[in-house]
Structure 1
Amino acid sequence: MRVRQRVQTIIVELMLILLSLTIIVPLLLMILGSFMNNIEVMQFKIQLPEKWLFENYVTVFKEGGLARAFVNGVVITVISCSVNIVTSSAAAFILARRETKLSSFLYLFFFMGLIAPMSTITTIRVVQWLGFYGSISSVVFIYAALNMAFSIFLYSGFVKSLNKSLDEAAFIEGANALQVFLKIITPLLLPVNATVAIMVFMGVWNDISIPLYFLPDSSNWTMPLSVYNFYGMYSRDWNLIFAVLVLTSLPVIILYVFAQKFIVSGMTAGAMKG
């Protein structure tokens, strides 16, 4: 029996190693290629550059206008995450604690957001009618709304796992619903907050479709959209394209490496406390 389990473990490990190569190999090609010249990079081989050309990154920043795109991306991503966390956690607290038909309907209504796609044309018309089409604020609200269904799903599961006696004790002491949420529930939401922040950050930072449709002014473009524009100008210089891709993916890679434990803990927080 132990031999069989050992063989199964080895097979699973080999499969995971092979699957990891599908990510590691392109990543190495991209990183090493970003330091090569435009002739050497066309070999698409995992090898050290003959000469490390750090000036590729200087060229990318000068020609691609990535400094402004980076600032735009940070502003949009951070504000979108903040708005999503505040609104979703508050809504989930009410939906999880109030056992009424309206709460159940609203929970299902938000849950439908995980399935129903966004209608781009209709959303554009609504944003134009509201008068802030083309502004960064329009993109922020759209991202916050698009990620709200997933966030409420996580928050609701966690809040339901918390003992209601915590709320009741606070109400006995004279606290209102807002005080209970801010002083009792919010400190307990830290694992889920971290998970939501990471997931929303990665989704917003890597997205290209929303800025493409809602930010016609190139000065408001984010990093991925700037990469798309940069590729159109330098489609033959793969070393520069790889440099842009490295700069674009670097924040997400760093965030995921240092915060991946929060994703797992946040996903399982409700089950662990239940």
Structure 2
Amino acid sequence: MSTRHKERLMRVVLQVVMILVSLLILIPLLIMLLGAFKNSAEVTAFDLALPQKWLFENFKAVFEQGKLLLAFKNSIFITVISTGITILVSSLASFILARRSSRFSRFLYYFFFIGTIIPMQIMPTIRLFTVLDIYGGYLNVIILYTAINIPFSCFLYTGFIKGIPRILDESAFIEGASTLQTYFHIILPLLKSCNITVLILLFTGIWNEINIPLYFLNDPSKRTLPLSVYQFFGMYGGSNWNLVFADLTLAALPVILMFLFMQKQFISGLTEGAVKG
């Protein structure tokens, strides 16, 4: 068999494997989506059959009984603030780490990298926030999300910024620009694809995360969407899977829409960051 035929065969095998992997993800997603429009009897089949009658009132029931609007507002607030702070702090820190080649900057880079490996300790963190008198509110959750996501974000930003020519910084400094002015006017506009990549990763991770809100939000009025889904499943998981699927669909919709609209920039940012790093 010639080399060309081998390469063609490998391509076909790879495509078949990718299709099978895609089906493993798409089939459960379609079962959930279709089940959200079925009645409580139809949905127990857990199949891909279309509903006999499309029950849009399932979503109305979920909003009323699951109090999703309040949970949605809480998730939006926590996710947007945490993501915004993380992107700003990480990109600023990475600008310095990428431009300075001192031992201290290298130490900080590896220090951030270690942060991607070491897990968070829940009980000592709860004790710390209790002493600081911020436990149970939005602030301690936002601080945690920011601290947890900064290391990986710095890893991406540093690799991307290293590919930006230093001559741009030097030209700005010659013109009298400060470090912050250089960052905001020169570097930040060039980070668009990387910003979108980090934005999607952070937004998806924070939006779907349940452990931190479960342990660090003690007020039911401040619960996030995953907590609402968790509670709703406990109430209806044994009898009304159609309502559970409607709840899951509404919870996943913002993340799915974001990825669909920004997937090109997301893939571009990952590729450019890997190559430049």
Deviations 1:12-48 (A, max 9, x none): 1111111111111101110111111111111111101
Separation (CA, whole Å) in 1 of partners of 2:57 and 2:161? 51
Larger deviation, residues 166-175 vs 196-205 = 166-175
Superposed, 1:153-192 pairs within 5 Å as: 153-192=155-194
1:193 and 2:195 are equivalent in the alignment: yes
From 62, 83, 86, the equivalent of 1:84 is 86
Give the Å deviation of 1:220.
0.6
Whether the 8 Å CA contact 1:161–1:273 is kept in 2: the answer is yes
Give the counterpart letter for 1:119 in structure 2: Q
> Counterpart of 2:162 in 1: which secondary structure?
helix
From 252, 256, 260, the equivalent of 1:257 is 260
From 247, 252, 256, the equivalent of 2:250 is 247
What is the aligned partner in structure 1 of residue 76 from structure 2? 74
What is the aligned partner in structure 2 of residue 266 from structure 1? 269
Separation (CA, whole Å) in 2 of partners of 1:255 and 1:176? 35
What is the aligned partner in structure 2 of residue 120 from structure 1? 122
1:45 and 2:53 are equivalent in the alignment: no
Give the Å deviation of 1:246.
0.3
Whether the 8 Å CA contact 1:161–1:271 is kept in 2: the answer is no
What is the aligned partner in structure 2 of residue 25 from structure 1? 27
Give the counterpart letter for 1:162 in structure 2: I
Unaligned stretches of 5+ residues in structure 2: none
The TM-score, its normalising length taken from structure 1, stands at 0.97
Give the counterpart letter for 1:39 in structure 2: A
> Counterpart of 1:121 in 2: which secondary structure?
helix
Deviations 1:54-112 (A, max 9, x none): 11111111000000000111111111110001100011111111211111111111110
> Counterpart of 2:115 in 1: which secondary structure?
helix
Whether the 8 Å CA contact 2:97–2:106 is kept in 1: the answer is yes
What is the aligned partner in structure 1 of residue 67 from structure 2? 65
Give the Å deviation of 1:272.
5.0
Give the counterpart letter for 1:86 in structure 2: L
The TM-score, its normalising length taken from structure 2, stands at 0.96
CA distance 1:124–1:48, shift in 2 (3 Å): same
Separation (CA, whole Å) in 2 of partners of 1:21 and 1:139? 35
1:231 and 2:236 are equivalent in the alignment: no
What is the aligned partner in structure 1 of residue 211 from structure 2? 209
What is the aligned partner in structure 2 of residue 13 from structure 1? 15
Identity %: 51
Give the Å deviation of 1:273.
5.5
Whether the 8 Å CA contact 2:33–2:245 is kept in 1: the answer is yes
Unaligned stretches of 5+ residues in structure 1: none
Runs of 4+ aligned residues of structure 1 deviating over 6 Å after TM superposition are none
Separation (CA, whole Å) in 1 of partners of 2:272 and 2:18? 26
Separation (CA, whole Å) in 1 of partners of 2:274 and 2:42? 52
Give the counterpart letter for 1:111 in structure 2: F
Separation (CA, whole Å) in 2 of partners of 1:254 and 1:175? 39
Give the Å deviation of 1:5.
2.4
Separation (CA, whole Å) in 2 of partners of 1:145 and 1:109? 13
Superposed, 1:96-135 pairs within 5 Å as: 96-135=98-137
Separation (CA, whole Å) in 1 of partners of 2:113 and 2:7? 40
Whether the 8 Å CA contact 1:96–1:156 is kept in 2: the answer is yes
Separation (CA, whole Å) in 1 of partners of 2:88 and 2:229? 31
> Counterpart of 2:165 in 1: which secondary structure?
coil
Separation (CA, whole Å) in 1 of partners of 2:275 and 2:113? 22
Aligned length: 274
Whether the 8 Å CA contact 2:136–2:216 is kept in 1: the answer is yes
Separation (CA, whole Å) in 2 of partners of 1:110 and 1:56? 45
Give the counterpart letter for 2:155 in structure 1: F
